[in-house]
Amino acid sequence: MRIPAHAVCTAIRDDIVSGVFERGGRLTEDLLARRYGVSRVPVREALRTLESEGFVVTRRHAGACVAEPTDQEAADVLEMRALLEPLGAARAAQRRTDAHLKVLRGLVRLGQERARRGEGEDLRSLGAWFHETLAQASGSAALVAQLTQLRHKIAWMYDVAAPVRPAESWAEHGALVDAVARGDAERARTLSAAHMVRAAAAHRLRRPVGADRVRGSQPAVNTASGRI
């Protein structure tokens, strides 16, 4: 059975994000085809997609390589998410369905319960699910695609610390869902933007091995961003 290129693309992207393939490292079609048990055709298509997304670059005499984002590019990714998340929240207030609301409210209940218990890993997963559902509720496929790509890049570029006060974070999620349920787009936009700002300090740039020896110590990026 032929494995589609989008599945190969997802597998390569996941391995880049998790650090299996280091920044600047070569991505040969033969190596990738063997790793995922596919022909070179879907690998080639996947690499083109990943290059358009910014995860891969093509270098003369080297071919496809994992991209090496600059600090400014990383900061731009956070800023773009900080702009798009409030837009998605406003659209969700206008277009959400009862099914979306049911899922969002259920996630808030679970998040608040896990926060009381101090179950940090569960909170991370629930937070990601919450923001994905909120984006889906916007009814905009283009917006969902952009936010999904930004989340992948943030996971690749940053370590995200757990919220210092997780109960407050989930209270913010709850207030946002209330605004979406009322159809109050401006309130949803405002709450989402404020949530992004308060989350900014949680992000710390990932550094390639040995980068500190080469570049010296670097200040933490502290631009508006989304905490999951």
CB 111 within 8 A of CB 78: no
pLDDT of residue 2: 67
- CA dist 53 and 156 (Å) reads 13
pLDDT of residue 96: 97
| pLDDT over threshold 60, residue 216 | no
Helices (H) and strands (E) in the chain, counts: 10, 4
Q: Residue 208 corresponds to which tokens in the numbers above?
A: 């390639």
Return the CATH superfamily for domain 71-215. Answer: GntR ligand-binding domain-like (1.20.120.530)
| pLDDT over threshold 70, residue 217 | no
Helix-helix angle 166-182:185-199, to 10 degrees = 160
Q: Report residue 209's pLDDT band, with 50, 70 and 90 as the boundaries.
A: low
Rounded to the nearest integer, the mean pLDDT of the chain is: 88
| pLDDT over threshold 90, residue 163 | no
86-138 residue pLDDT tens:
999 999 999 999 999 999 999 999 999 998 887 766 788 899 999 999 999 99
Element (H, E) at 76: helix 71-95
- CA dist 187 and 180 (Å) reads 8
Buried b (16+ CB within 10 A) or exposed e, 202-227: bbebeeeeeeeeeeeeeeebebbbbb
Within the chain, which residue ranges are assigned CATH 1.10.10.10? 5-66
- CA dist 28 and 8 (Å) reads 14
- Classify 37 as helix, strand or coil: coil
pLDDT of residue 112: 93
- CA dist 106 and 202 (Å) reads 25
176-194 residue pLDDT tens:
999 999 999 999 999 999 9
Q: Residue 2 corresponds to which tokens in the numbers above?
A: 């032929």
Architecture of domain 5-66: Orthogonal Bundle (1.10)
Q: Report residue 210's pLDDT band, with 50, 70 and 90 as the boundaries.
A: low
